[in-house]
Structure 1
């Protein structure tokens, strides 16, 4: 009778034995190690060299170029306007800026106003920390203040920003607090004829000595209608002519007539004549002025 075949033992490879031994050895090593969370990591420190005097000078010079970039544009626009360097191709400065730079009238004048404010801050602010504006939006709220107060407001804004360049919102908040602190009672009334006092305010450039008629009375300012439109002007920049009610009514009629012709887009020489009427310091037109204005009105109607 045949015997059943004998079961053969499974062979164990040397590799398996070595692997098991290695795992056991690793486990023993891990069990003997300390908690990994308490392991010490060695980091090699890299020394950063201090700036040399020349490098510090170069940095300051380049920072100044960044700060002045946008304001140099405003100064260039002022020179183009004041010297009328656009006259060979365009009738007006506004048309030139629109065609050449893609600026509307407001953009161009905001840049020019910002350049004036920047120069004022550069001259009068404490330069020890070298903090100056870097764009037009930051200084726009300062146009509401007299030039002699602008440096004070800017330094307060820098302090509120912890020594950094302040944002538009911070500057605006500082300006509002200063305006509330220096609030002057508004005694003007609708229809009153006032003279514009520029007092180095860049926002009123070109309006020195002009007259306007109060069309709205605000808390800190008046809206004044002039020969080329309406402007909101601070009380410190207005002076009443103290005209009689009948004289105020007469000036209202003259203002309406000038404004209609001025807005019709006539040539620049004609606009200059109308602007001169906008600076009258009397409540009437002479016979010649009346005659010339009637001629322009008839031209406008045609």
Structure 2
């Protein structure tokens, strides 16, 4: 059966098969032939005032960690957390989501940064821009910190050095000043702070050596264990019997201590942790016994 013819008329092209376009329509109707005009935009140079503003804002960004460390130090020293929290550590955890280590690293970094400012004019010298660049220097003396930073900047080609570069320079200085470690496990030492920010509050404390390392010792102090460089230690040269007595006192204090204790109780334990003799007086013995009795339910097994 023949297919009926379609009633729809076949559409015909409105454009001639000749590819030549009429005059005046070539550029208007054919995008391929259109001309695009781009206007050059001149970027104005910064004015002197804008340059000063930029430098000022850059410095604020670079010193953000420094300002945080200074603020945390003031919050702790003035105990501005006392209306809501028992301890500074609990306050930092709840308010800033900081671990104890994180808060103290920032505070230690602020101390080192202050020290570098004394040596390095911020207008002429590169200064640290993060806590990680400062962290390796916290165990050094102030003059050594300044030496390390200037050397690290030089090695970085006059730019801000990475934490790795700083750490390598610190290691070289520590090896340069290497001294034999003659301490023994169980020996009783005194901690010498010597302006080391990591030892804030530990100067004068007695401690018992629990591990002997190459350039340091791990020690048991009244509020826990710390690893401290040999330059910050001095032996009491106690006799074996005196060492045993101090070990018993250390065990008793450490069983009572916890981060949740009231500040007055911590202060009392700290004072016992700074006695410079191998025994407690009668009053000190009574006070420690009272604390042991009061916190007997909290004593760690």
Interval of TM-score (by shorter of Structure 1 and Structure 2): 0.7 to 0.9
Distance (whole Å) between structure 2 residues aligned to residue 71 and residue 232 of structure 1: 25
Contact 1:264 1:300 in 2 (8 A): no
Structure 1 match to 2:59: 64
Of 94, 107, 112, the residue aligned with 1:117 is 112
Q: How many Å apart are 1:270 and its aligned residue?
A: 1.4
Distance (whole Å) between structure 1 residues aligned to residue 109 and residue 152 of structure 2: 17
Contact 1:195 1:238 in 2 (8 A): yes
Structure 1 match to 2:75: 80
The gaps in structure 2 that reach 5 residues or longer are 1-15, 21-39
Structure 1 match to 2:136: 141
Cα pair distance change 1:135/1:287, threshold 3 Å: same
Structure 2 match to 1:89: 84
The gaps in structure 1 that reach 5 residues or longer are 1-12, 19-44
Structure with higher helix content? 1
Distance (whole Å) between structure 2 residues aligned to residue 106 and residue 264 of structure 1: 13
Structure 2 match to 1:268: 263
Contact 2:220 2:226 in 1 (8 A): yes
Name the Cα RMSD after superposition. 2.3
Structure 2 match to 1:195: 190
1:286 maps to 2:281: yes
Q: How many Å apart are 1:184 and its aligned residue?
A: 1.5
Show CA shifts across 1:147-170 (max 9, x none): 221011011111111111111111
Show CA shifts across 1:24-51 (max 9, x none): xxxxxxxxxxxxxxxxxxxxx9987665
Distance (whole Å) between structure 1 residues aligned to residue 77 and residue 173 of structure 2: 33
Of 229, 245, 254, the residue aligned with 2:249 is 254
Contact 1:197 1:237 in 2 (8 A): yes
Contact 2:193 2:200 in 1 (8 A): yes
Distance (whole Å) between structure 2 residues aligned to residue 154 and residue 202 of structure 1: 17
Distance (whole Å) between structure 2 residues aligned to residue 144 and residue 264 of structure 1: 24
**TM-score normalized by the length of structure 2:** 0.82
Distance (whole Å) between structure 2 residues aligned to residue 228 and residue 269 of structure 1: 14
Distance (whole Å) between structure 2 residues aligned to residue 132 and residue 95 of structure 1: 32
The within-5 A match list for 1:143-182 is 143-182=138-177
Show CA shifts across 1:230-283 (max 9, x none): 111011111111111111111111011101101384322112111110010111
| Alignment size in residue pairs | 265
SS at match of 1:148: helix
Distance (whole Å) between structure 2 residues aligned to residue 288 and residue 71 of structure 1: 43
Structure 2 match to 1:209: 204
**TM-score normalized by the length of structure 1:** 0.81
